[in-house]
A and B are shown apart, each in its own frame.
Chain A
Amino acid sequence: MSLKAVMAGSASLLLALVVACGGAAPAVPAEPVVIEREVIKEVPRDVVVEVEKEVIREVTKEVPVVREVVREAPSKPDLRPGKISWTSGQSLASPDSHVWAVGGDFQIFRNTFEGITQDTGYGTSGPALAEDWSLDPDNLTWTFNLRRNVNFHNGDPVTAEDVRFSILRLRDSPTGNLKFQAGHVEDVIVVDPETIRLVTKAPSPTNLLFIDAGRVYSAKQAEQDGERFFESFIGTGPWKFDEWVPGTKFSWVRNDDWWGDFADGAATNLEHRPIPEPATAVAAVLSGGVDIVIRLANEPAEKFGEAAGYHSVSRPSNANTAFCVKANTPPFDDAKLRLAMDYAIDRKSIVEDITGFGTALAVRSSPDSPWTPPELEPRFFDAERVQQLVSESNYDGMEFRFITRTRRTPKDVEIAEFMTATWKQLGLNATLEVLGDAAFSQRRRGGDYEIFLTSWGLTNPPHNFNAHMIGHQIGYHATHPDFQELTEAMATEMDPGKFDVMVQDIQRYLYNDPACYHIFTYPNLYGVSDRVQELVNVPGEIYILYDQTVLAPHSRGQ
C-alpha cells in the first residue's frame, strides 16, 4: 500500500469520526421563570422594636424561597424520562453477591437482591423477604416466616429452600468477603416452604443485622445452571437486571412485581455509571450525562447548590474518621499518653477548616445514636492539657510511625497532615506515611505502625468495631481484662435494652481510656440534577451509596 493511500485512508477515518460527531443541537437556554412576589407589611409607627425585628425576620425568610424558584430551568432536554442514573467511583467487580460486596457492588446488589432482613440504619434491621420472626428461649433458634407470593425476577417463586441454600452458600463460600456475616450460623432448617429455622452457634444479637448479606438466589436455578447462574443477577429486589457493560454501566428496569410499594410516578429505569475521577463525575452531572453524583467533598457540593438546574443533598451517614494507637506497646501502653493524644486532636479545625462539614465525635457512634452515652462530649484541642499529660507520662520523645490510606474520604490526607503537624508542635514526634489500600491493610494487620488513621462506614454496632479493632488488632484486651469481660458479655446479650446499655458502658470505658479516637462523622453529600426531584420515590425503593431515600422529597436541601 502506498503512503498516499495510507494517509488518504487515515484522513477518511478521521473525517468519518468528525462527521459522526455530528452536531448535537446547541442547547437553547430556557427562559428564566420569574416570579414576582410582593410582600407588604404595614407596621404602625409606634410599634415596639421587638415587633420590627419580627417583621424583618419574616421578610428575610421569604428571600431564599424566591431565589430558589427564580433559578433557570435546566437547559438540557430530558431524553430519558423516568430514568435515574447515578455515578460513583467504583464499578461492579464481581457479579456474585456472595463473593464480593463492597463499594459499587454493594449499591448494585442492594437494588437487585434481598436477604430475609434488611439493614435500616444505626444497627437496626427491618423485614425484607422474611415478614416477621421470633427467637426461641434458648436464644439460639430463630424462626423466620417468609413473605408469601414473592417471585424471583425470572418468575420462579421464592421458597424456604432458596433461603437455606443462599445463607449456607454465603457461610461456606471459600472467597466471599462478607462470609463472616454468616459465620455465626450453625444451620438453616426448612420447616415448610414459607418458614425457616436458623440456628446460631452462640447467642447472636447481631444476627438480624448480619444475615441480610445472605442475598437470596434460586436454589433450583443454581443447581441447573451451575456457577454461571450467579452471573445472571436474578434476585427479588425492586429493580430487575437489564444490562451490564463491565466498566461502563449497570442498568435495571423497575420490578413491578416487587412485594414493596412503589410510589406513583416512580422511576421506571435505573442506571449506575462508574466514573473513577471525581472531577469527571461532577462534569458528567453538569453536562447532563448522569443525574446524581455521590460522595462529594464540601466545595463541589456547594457549587451544585448554587448552580442553576442542580441542587445538593446532604444525608447523615455513620461513616467515621478515627485513628487508633497500639495500646499494648510502648509508648502508647501509657494511659496518660493515650489521653493526651485525644486532647491533641483539633476536631473543631478539622470539621470547620479542613473538610468544611461533619460533626465532632466523642465515641464511635454519632451523637443521636442510642449507643452514644448522652453525657459524653467530644474532647476538644487543649495544648496545655496535652503538655501536662505528656510530661506525666513515660513518653521520651520517641518517633512513632503514623500510617493512613488515601481516598477513603474527602480530605483524608490533609487531615492526617494537619494532625501530624499539630502533634509535632506539641512535642509528639509522628512520621506520616500515606499508603495505598493494599499496603495499608498489610501494615495494619501486621502491626507495622504505632498509629493508623482511617475511616469506616460500618453498619455494625460500635461494640463490634471496638472489640474487633481494639481487642484483636491492637492487643487492648491483653491489658484490660475487665474490658474483655464486658465485650464478651455483650457479644451474647440478646435483650435489646440491656444490649444498648452495655454498648454505652463499653463506649464510656473507651472514652475514659482510649485506644481508638473518633474524630468526626460526616454526611454523604450528593450533587443532583433538578430533573430528579420530579420523580417521586419512597424509602427502600432505590439504594444509592448507603442511602435508601436520597430522592424522596423530604431529603431536599442541606
Chain B
Amino acid sequence: MLLYARRRALTSVISILGISVIAFLLPRLAPGDPALVLMSDDATDEIIEQTREFWGLNKPLYEQYYVFIVRAVQLDLGTSLVTGRSTIETVKDFFPNTIKLALVAWVWSVVVSIPLGILAALNRNKVPDIVIRLFAMLGRGMPNFWLGIMLILLFAVVWNILPAFGIGEGFFDQAKHLILPGFVLGSSFMALLVRMVRSEMLEVLNEDYVRTARAKGLANRVVIYRHALRNALIPVVTILGLEIGGLIGGSIITETVFAYPGLGRLTVQSIQGLDYPMVQTLVLIFALIYISASFIVDMLYGYLDPRIRYQ
C-alpha cells in the first residue's frame, strides 16, 4: 500500500509538471497580445513596447517558461498583469468562496441523490422511479445559466426570500447567499448520482449475496442498507471524490450568473484580460485539486473494498 502510494504520488508530480507546460502554453496560444489589452486604445506603439518589455512578454517562450518554473518552485507563481498583485494573494481572496460553494453543491447532491437513487431502484418502473428519473433528467439537461437566472427571478425578484447575487456577510447571511448557487452548481451532479446509485443498486439487488441475505430471513432494511447499498456505493465513491474537483473547477458559469466571487469568475476575467500569470496559477490550482482528489479516491478504494489489493 505504501509503495503504491509513493508510486502514485510520483506520477502525480509528473502530471503536475506536464500540466505546468500546458498551463504556460495555452494562454499564449490564444489570440491576442496582453500588452494591447492592458493599454488604452490611445497608447502609442512605444508605450505598448515598454509594457511588453516590463512584463517580459517579448522574451522567447522557453525563457519565459524557465522564469516561470524557477519562481514556481519557490512558490511564487508570478504577478498579475492586470492588478499588479501576487497571483497567489489574489487566489487566496477567492479560493475559500469557491470551496464553500463546491462543498454546498456536493453535500446537497449527495444527500438528495442517494436516497432518491435507492427509492428509484426499489420501485423500478413504478411511479416513484419514473418521477425520479424525470427529475434527474431535468437536473442533467437544464443549463446552469438558465436555471440560475430562473431561480433568481423566482426566489429573489418574485418572492424576495433569497439574495440574487454576491456572497453576504456573517455566517447566516453567507449561508443564505450559498443556497441558490449551491443548488444550481450541484443540480447536474445530483442528477448523475441519482442515475448512478439507481443502476448500481439494481445490479447489486440481483446479486447472489443479496438473495442469500434475504433467504437468511434478514429484515428488508438490513438487506438494503447493509448488504446492497454498501456494495452499490463503491463505484459511486469514485465519482464523489473526483466530482469535488469538478465542482471546484466547473463553477465558472454559476459564479458568473450569481456574481459570486470565486475562482471560476476570476478565471473568466483573467482569460478575457489575457492575464497570463493569473491563468497559469488558476490552471495549476485546478489541476492540483483534481490530482489530489483522484489520489485520495485511489487510496480510499482499497480501504472501502478489501478485495482490491494494490500492486
Contact = CB atoms under 8 A, between A and B. Distances in A.
Name the residue among A16, A177, A183, A445 with the largest chain B CB count within 10 angstroms: A177
A264 B50 CA distance: 48
A3 interface: yes
Contacts of A99: 84
Contacts of A180: 40, 42-44, 47
Interface stretch (A58-66, A161-169, A242-250, A536-544): A242-250
Contacts of A183: 44, 47
B94 interface: yes
B165 interface: yes
B230 interface: yes
B108 A438 contact: no
Contact of B111 (A11, A96, A281, A437): A11
A442 B39 CA distance: 12
Contact of B30 (A16, A24, A95, A438): A438
Contacts of B157: 283, 286-287
Given A247-B265, A276-B256, A177 B40 contact: yes
Interface in A155-201: 174-175, 177-180, 183
A185 B301 CA distance: 68
B176 A22 contact: yes
Contacts of B179: 17-18, 21
B32 A439 contact: yes
Name the residue among B42, B50, B229 with the largest chain A CB count within 10 angstroms: B42
A438 B34 contact: yes
A3 B44 contact: no
Interface in A112-145: none
Given A93-B83, A177-B39, A246-B93, A277 B257 contact: yes
A414 B268 CA distance: 23
B62 interface: no
Interface string B232-261: 010000000000000000000000111101
B160 A275 contact: no
A31 B191 CA distance: 44
A295 interface: no
A468 B44 CA distance: 9
A20 interface: yes
A21 B261 contact: no
A221 interface: no
Contacts of A174: 50-51, 54
A273 interface: yes
A359 to B, nearest CB: 23
B23 interface: no
A96 B84 contact: yes
Nearest to B166: A248
B114 A7 contact: yes
Contacts of B111: 7, 10-11, 14
A458 B98 CA distance: 37
B258 A280 contact: yes
A287 B156 contact: yes
A82 to B, nearest CB: 18
B272 A436 contact: yes
Name the residue among B55, B148, B152, B273 with the largest chain A CB count within 10 angstroms: B152
Interface string A447-464: 000000000101010001
Contacts of B162: 21, 24
B291 interface: no
B104 interface: yes
B272 A175 contact: no
Given A277-B259, A280-B164, A175 B54 contact: yes
B16 interface: no
Name the residue among A14, A435, A468 with the largest chain B CB count within 10 angstroms: A14
A471 to B, nearest CB: 12
Given A287-B156, A288-B160, A22 B172 contact: yes
Interface residues of A, number: 68
Contacts of B178: 17
Given A93-B83, A273-B259, A279-B149, A287 B164 contact: yes
B175 interface: yes
Interface in B22-60: 30-34, 36-45, 47-48, 50-51, 54-55
Nearest to A464: B42
A289 interface: yes
Interface in A259-299: 273-277, 279-281, 283-284, 286-289
Contacts of B51: 174-175
A486 interface: no
A289 B37 contact: no
Contact of B32 (A14, A24, A287, A436): A436
B12 interface: no
B93 A247 contact: yes
A233 to B, nearest CB: 14
B160 A76 contact: yes
Contacts of A47: none
B172 A441 contact: no
B265 A276 contact: yes
A398 to B, nearest CB: 24
B88 interface: no
Contacts of B259: 273-277, 280-281, 284
B84 A17 contact: no
A11 B257 CA distance: 27
B229 to A, nearest CB: 8
B225 to A, nearest CB: 8
A478 interface: no
A17 B114 CA distance: 19
Contacts of B37: 437-438, 441
Nearest to B50: A174
B230 A245 contact: no
B232 to A, nearest CB: 11
A509 B6 CA distance: 75
Contacts of B172: 20, 22
B90 interface: yes
A172 to B, nearest CB: 11
B164 A442 contact: no
A27 interface: yes
Nearest to A407: B272
B42 A468 contact: yes
Contacts of B94: 246-247
Given A13-B107, A17-B175, A247-B261, A94 B84 contact: yes
Contacts of B201: none
A468 B45 CA distance: 11
A3 B224 CA distance: 14
A277 B256 contact: yes
The 10 closest A-B pairs by CB, nearest first: A438-B32, A247-B261, A20-B175, A441-B36, A439-B31, A287-B156, A275-B259, A174-B54, A283-B164, A94-B83
17 contacts: A17-B182, A20-B176, A23-B161, A93-B83, A174-B51, A175-B51, A175-B81, A177-B39, A248-B261, A273-B259, A280-B149, A280-B165, A280-B259, A287-B152, A441-B33, A445-B36, A472-B44
Interface of B: 30-34, 36-45, 47-48, 50-51, 54-55, 81-85, 90, 93-94, 104, 107-108, 110-111, 114, 145, 148-149, 152-153, 156-157, 159-167, 171-172, 175-176, 178-179, 182, 229-230, 233, 256-259, 261-262, 265-266, 268-269, 272-274
Given A13-B107, A23-B161, 4 more contacts: A26-B159, A177-B38, A442-B32, A472-B44
